[in-house]
Structure formats: C-alpha cells, structure tokens
Amino acid sequence: MRRLKHAEMARVTGIGGVFLRARDPQALGAWYKRHLGVPYEDGFAKLNWTEDPDPNALTIWAPFDFDTTYFGSDKQQAMVNFRVDDLDALLSDLAANGVEIVPERNEEAFGRFAWVIDCEGNRVELWEPAHENGIDGR
C-alpha cells in the first residue's frame, strides 16, 4: 500500500466499477453476457485490465454537458463504453440476434464507434481502438 507524505493529496487510482440501475438486473446482466460477451455471473462482471493484450489499455472518465444528446435519451444519466476487438463482426452478430443498432457511426483518429440499445433501452457505446498509430499502438 502506498503511504502518503504529509503534504501529498490522496487521489483516484482508477475506475472501480460501473453500476447501472435496472428494472430487472438479472435480465440486464444476461443480455450483456449474451450479446456483448460480458462475463456476468452471480450479479456482476469482473473485467481485469491485466487480461487485455494491449499494454496501453485504459479507462476514460469524462463529464458531459447536462443537455448532451450523446447518450441518446435525456433520461439516461450515464453511458457505458465497451472496448471491442472487431466492431464490424460484433455489429453483424448483434444485428443477427435482433439487437437494436443505432445507424450512426463515428470514426476518429483513436478509433471507430457505434452504438446499440440494450434490453432496458440504454444507449451503449462500442469502441474499436485505432490499430495503426492510434492510442493502442498496434
């Protein structure tokens, strides 16, 4: 454990979890497991960065303007962004399984983005990091 010097401020060291309010938590967890491969068991999913093959893997935390339309519905107060290994293949699988896919796509220097709607109506962001000269260094 890191010991603080007297004048040093304590700080955040990472994201410890993402928590979603749900009408049916078990059904929502099962949806994320079935469609996105989230390892949901016993009421939660544990995602270890140490298992990611990308040594530069990271988590972004960012507040958005209150009136943003980026999350879809103005009733949605937060949005989860999942890092994916093959956006096109995942979207194809999701479409084949009847998952609602937002038609909008976005491509930036740091990767490609798409959005889906989960079984409770939440907009979920899918991000495939850029592979050449992008932030993941591949």
Homologous superfamily of 25-129? 2,3-Dihydroxybiphenyl 1,2-Dioxygenase, domain 1 (3.10.180.10)
Cα–Cα dist 34/110, whole Å: 27
Assessment of whether the complete model's pTM goes beyond 0.75: yes
Torsion from C-alpha of 66, 72, 75, 77, nearest 10 degrees? -60
What pLDDT score does 6 carry?
A: 61
Domain ranges of the chain: 25-129
Q: Does residue 134 carry a pLDDT above 50?
A: no
What pLDDT score does 112 carry?
A: 96
